[in-house]
Amino acid sequence: MRFNKMLVATAGFAAAAWTPAHAYEAGAAGWAQKPGITLGGGTAAAPPPGLYMIDQVYTYQPNLVGPGNSVLNPHGGTTSVPSAVASPVFVWVPGWEFLGATYNASWAIPVGMFAVGNPVNIEAAGLINSFIAPVELSWKLGDSGFHVKTGLGMYVPDGTVTGVNGLGNVGNAWWTFMPEFVVSYLKNGWNLTANFYEEFNTRSTVTQYRSGDILHAEFTTTKTIGKWTFGPVAYYVGQVSDDTSSAFYHEAINVNRYNIWAAGAELGYNFGPAQLTVWALDEVSANASGGSPQLPPGPLITKGFSAFAQLSYRLWAPDEPVAAPKSPIYHK
């Protein structure tokens, strides 16, 4: 569900081609959760009690940009890094309350593929790290229309990991912890939502390299009229702290900072038992900087187009409470 792996693979394989010893840690310029993934109707409000399922797919069609692109492509052009991901997501809302908030938990099991074009020319596919959010708490602020949600999610290092540095496939050999803060205004058919979350990575168990922290900010402004929902969406993602290298790379750094901005639109239709939502965004700005000069090709980041689709529905709902029998109308 929540993953972008193209740059991880690209920089890893590119470095293997351009340096005599090791591929370098490309995970520093990637992210565990694909930017824009929460824009498909995600809000700070908790749904009614039950077990929900979300079938989600997306494709990302970017090219590499940044100072390193001129080294990878000295005669001009760009290197494409397309990917496709599919994931079932389970959301459990037991109806519990804590400190006035509604509790829920979620679990996603994503699988995907990526490819890297010229001059690298590789492909890989497998199991992406699973996502677990054991705690999310949602508060409804009276009748104001405002909702606030906070929680903690994590990507578990159970994906497909291959290669000398563990970056040869779609899995990551490290944990990623993700605290979140979401605020929504939901009234009169409007959904105005801002979702902020940050990725904190542990060291790779293969190389001991630690990628810097990644900040995500995702914004939704939609209106529901009848069964249709539509409106603009946008996101920002950027690295906000430096990487920490290791002896595996002789203390060299891949990329220390990057920033990406994207804008697009969302369209949804409510079938009753299920909600279908599609959304797409184009990255209008992307840049990368930092890194060690002894590790060519240099800083790289992706810039391109993303398209998402999801079908969400409730698998199970608790039984309605049985009403107490009414007293008979007539008495002896």
Burial class for 150, CB neighbours closer than 10 Å (0-12, 13-18, 19+): middle
**Per-position b or e across 164-189, b if 16+ CB within 10 A of its CB:** ebbbbbbbbbbbbebebebbbbbeee
Cβ atoms of 210 and 201 within 8 Å: the answer is yes
- What pLDDT is stored for residue 321 in this prediction? 63
Domains of the chain by residue range: 6-315
Q: pLDDT tens-digit profile of 44-96? A: 999 999 999 999 999 999 999 988 888 888 888 889 999 999 999 999 999 99
Residue 16: pLDDT band by 50, 70, 90 thresholds? very low
The predicted model gives 162-191 an average pLDDT of 93
Strand partners, 195: 182, 218
- What pLDDT is stored for residue 3 in this prediction? 30
Judged against a pLDDT cut of 50, whether residue 158 lies above it is answered with yes
Helix residue ranges per DSSP H, 108-264: none
Residue 19: pLDDT band by 50, 70, 90 thresholds? very low
Q: What would the CATH number be for the domain defined by 6-315?
A: 2.40.160.40
How many residues comprise the chain? 332
For residue 316, the tally of other CB atoms under 10 A from its CB is: 10
| pTM passes above 0.75 | yes
Displacement of CA 10 from its chain's centroid (Å): 19
